[in-house]
Amino acid sequence: MSALIALDYLKLDPKRDNIVLLQTGLDPERMAALEQKGLDAAMLQRLATKTMLAKGYTQLLNLNQAKIPYQNTVLAARRDYMASNARSFESFTRAVVEGYAYVLIRRTSRRSKKSLPRT
């Protein structure tokens, strides 16, 4: 989904522009495929992106800086687990949200906690 969002942002159309999307594994596999000329481009996480930029590759788009509203990370659990472990599930969800707030918004942990409503 992220690749389709990125292509749309770059005004590219897979059919029109003859772009083939492949599920190629995780960053190590994608990096190896790029280096072996098996891929022309790949979606990479931050550390892999830094590594490839250091090797002379070019970044086409940084989705974190593009200001595109999209959801890339999903938390999933069975309803029966959530019902029987509501407190743990809420604590886990809050921890993930606070972590994202700290890293992406660059707020201190204390300010991030204030931004989350208590139920």
Q: 2: part of which helix (H) or strand (E)? A: helix 2-9
Mean pLDDT across 69-91: 87
Is residue 81 scored above 70 in pLDDT?
yes
Is residue 65 scored above 80 in pLDDT?
yes
Residue 113: the pLDDT is 53
Predicted TM-score of the model (pTM): 0.60
The tokens describing 54, both together, are 């250091």
List C-alpha distances in Å: 35 to 27, 39, 46, 57.
12, 8, 17, 10
Q: Where are the domains of the chain?
A: 2-54, 79-115
pLDDT tier at 108, thresholds 50, 70, 90: very low
Residue 109: the pLDDT is 44
Identify each DSSP E strand in 3-119 by its residue range. Answer: none
